[in-house]
Structure 1
């Protein structure tokens, strides 16, 4: 992997370097320190994340006669793909993550023995800078791996602490201002949904699902003749379910908990904590949506059938234990309890499945192949908004696991939401 020596000023302004060094080393700007070298290398071979360029940067800082290394993980706007940069700007992805990280600071998400996220050194609408968590013993699992039960329970606990911290934040803001706190009233301008709605991206997802089934499913002949239209309708219905709902708890949702966005720490081979990273796809709604997205992105059907109930119960146990007393009172008045959570999990299952169907083609592809396929400025719009079937089906022929993960969820979606709810005479207008 290549490494580039460069001036720190080519990456950061003077003010930004002061902020990074001060937060990392605990130094006041008046203290004597100097950045004497800087090196940068790609965060990994291939596409490590879809909505930005990712690098590992090391600042060599001289302080009190000693040279200290500050190891950073840096996410920036795409440099070589203008259509992707425009997509990110247009849909506020960096602004959402910057807002989430600032909120996490207020909610003390990086504090305590079991933090649920990382403390950012710098976050704005062009750049996110945080410590390289590998130096703290955290790591992600391989992009195509599914979670064991210990990993799933640890990750669900982190998600529970995230949601509980926000519920506590709502209660504190409401008590402080003496009026119910409305998160969307304050941040709704950047929380618009660009893709998980009636969008070209969503319709391209339906087209891909149809072509995947037609090519590879031995159940295809059992399905209705107007299958692509039915998929489009059901995908739209799934997207519409994720919103703020009255008379229940609503929180900020990570909504993108695939395997690369969860980092684990270990004692030997046993996971002891998980951190949630990458909040660019933030949404707002009932917590169960995050749970269902998480389960469908990181586990397989047999695992869910065996362990889903245990994971949901564990989530709620940690969630309840993390709540402050004034928050508990509000949730009791709202009748938000384990039974309510289970009901919402079933209501949000449809969205969780569609989220997996929508992003699996991107995130389960081998990273170098994904970079060549989905990070090419010449084909970016076509594969995002028109039809991504050709490159995805070509990769399915090379990678049986890539095909299997997508095919199984697609067939489950049809089993649950088309075959059980539609007939061959069902008419759909698209």
Structure 2
């Protein structure tokens, strides 16, 4: 990317100086420049959310610009997913695989039903059992490279811990994305919804989603124009809006799974996961007991899960109308 002068990518992540396979990686220590991750218990406000989404648009625009420049160079369509498909294949959200990462996520999906049962007082205006098979299918399906929409090399795991924010006194002025173990090739809306659902609260999402989508798309347009690329040809606005709704079922469910652990403090987690046997059961087998006890222990944990559940019910209401 740097050889083709796609320099904006360097503003999105720490610089890598040296790598030796399965041994050593040397990065910039950006904490020396006052970058830090925020506690996952503190939701992003509109200022921080806007900053992060603009940087995300720059990250995605850099990928699109690279593909366009490579297409010009080789005289045919070039896509990162074709060149580096081996490295961008899905490793976690897999329905039928039996390795630890896939089983972790499969357990998480099943545990959503336990979360539903934890809140019997929340009225459901539709037949949840009828909608559930469709939800489960969409969770594993829409995360795959799309045949209908243009894909991008996505970060894949943009929750609070993986966004390092730079502050000037108490004012956020920049950010970088770290931890690329979940990179995948899929519609860019997945990263955008990751930021929206995994760093904020329900009130912020409800109030500002439309504005955030506008901020993202406007920045995508501006960065692409630097490389003489036309956003309306790469990602027409109507298509971008469609992909947000296309990806949403996966991210709404993923946010419930993430918040089963990410809203806890390390002390709360360690107090429950007392030995290897308990940890194995919670992560890979059954979370019902864990979820019940954490809701009893932490009102914040319970409130966060309920917020996520309400997001799920909003989604189900829409899906049930199409069944």
- TM above 0.5, yes or no, is yes
Structure 1 distance, partners of 2:152, 2:228, is 13
2:172 equivalent to 1:267:
no
Q: Name the structure where strand makes up a greater proportion of residues.
A: 1
Cα deviation 1:232-262 (Å, max 9, x = unaligned): 5413313211222245432111121111111
Between Structure 1 and Structure 2, the one with more helix by share is: 2
SS in 1 for 2:176: strand
Q: CA deviation at 1:264?
A: 1.1
Aligned pairs for 1:96-115 (under 5 A) are 107-108=6-7, 111=10, 115=11
**Matched residue SS, 1:323:** helix
Q: CA separation of 1:167/1:279 partners in 2, compared to 1, >3 Å: closer, same or farther?
A: same
Larger RCO (alpha carbons 8 Å, 6+ apart): 2
Give the equivalent residue in structure 2 for 1:206: 109
**TM-score, reference length from structure 2:** 0.85
Query: Structure 1 residues 412 and 247 mapped into 2: Cα distance closer, same or farther (>3 Å)?
Result: closer
Give 1:382's match in structure 2, choosing from 281, 289, 293.
Answer: 281
CA gap 1:375/1:281 in 2 versus in 1, 3 angstroms: farther
| CA distance in structure 2 between the partners assigned to 1:247 and 1:240 by the alignment | 13
Of 151, 173, 198, which residue of structure 2 is paired with 1:250? 151
Contact 2:158 2:195 in 1 (8 A): yes
Check if 1:237 corresponds to 2:138: yes
Write the distance in 2 (CA, Å) between the matches of 1:375 and 1:409.
27
Query: What is the CA–CA distance in structure 2 between the aligned matches of 1:398 and 1:104, rounded to whole Å?
Result: 53
Task: Indicate which of 46, 50, 60 corresponds to 1:153.
Answer: 50
Q: Which of 1 and 2 has greater Rg?
A: 1
Correspondence for 1:28: none
1:119 aligns with 2:22: no
Q: What is residue 7 of structure 1 aligned with on the other side? A: none
Give the whole-Å Cα distance in 2 for the aligned partners of 1:326 and 1:107: 8
| C-alpha distance in structure 2 between counterparts of 1:312 and 1:375, whole Å | 42
What CA distance in whole angstroms lies between the structure 1 residues aligned with 2:88 and 2:138?
Answer: 19
| Deviation sequence 1:31-57 (CA, Å, 0-9, x none) | xxxxxxxxxxxxxxxxxxxxxxxxxxx
Q: Within 5 A, what are the aligned runs for 1:66-85?
A: none
RMSD: 3.0
Aligned equivalents of 2:237 and 2:308: distance in 1?
A: 26
Secondary structure in 1 matching 2:146: coil
Give the 3 Å change call, closer, same or farther, for CA 109–326 of structure 1 in structure 2: closer
Distance 2:16 2:275 in 1: 29
Alignment partner for residue 308 of structure 2, among 387, 399, 409? 409
Displacement of 1:377 = 4.7
Say if 2:241 is the partner of 1:342. Answer: yes
Using the TM superposition, give the Cα deviation of residue 345 of structure 1 relative to its aligned residue in structure 2, in angstroms: 1.4
2:291 aligned with 1:395, yes or no? no
1:191-236 deviation digits (Å, cap 9, x = unpaired):
2323313154344223322222222341267664747xx5354133
Do the aligned residues in 1 keep the contact of 2:156 with 2:191 (CA within 8 Å)? Answer: yes
- Could you tell me which runs of 5 or more consecutive residues in structure 2 were left unpaired when the two chains were aligned: 97-102
8 A Cα contact 2:112 2:253, kept in partner: no
Task: Give the number of equivalent residue pairs.
Answer: 315
The 1-side partners of 2:151 and 2:135 are apart by 24
2:223 is aligned, of 310, 322, 330, to: 322
Once residues 316 and 104 of structure 1 are traced to their aligned partners in structure 2, the CA distance between those partners, rounded to angstroms, is 26
Q: Distance in 1 between matches of 2:195 and 2:58?
A: 15
C-alpha distance in 1, partners of 2:196/2:243?
A: 14
The answer to whether 1:167 aligns with 2:70 is no
Distance in 1 between residues matched to 2:118 and 2:73, nearest whole Å: 58
In 1, the alpha carbon distance for the partners of 2:8 and 2:108 equals 34
Give 2:118's aligned residue: 215
Give the corresponding residue for 2:254. 355
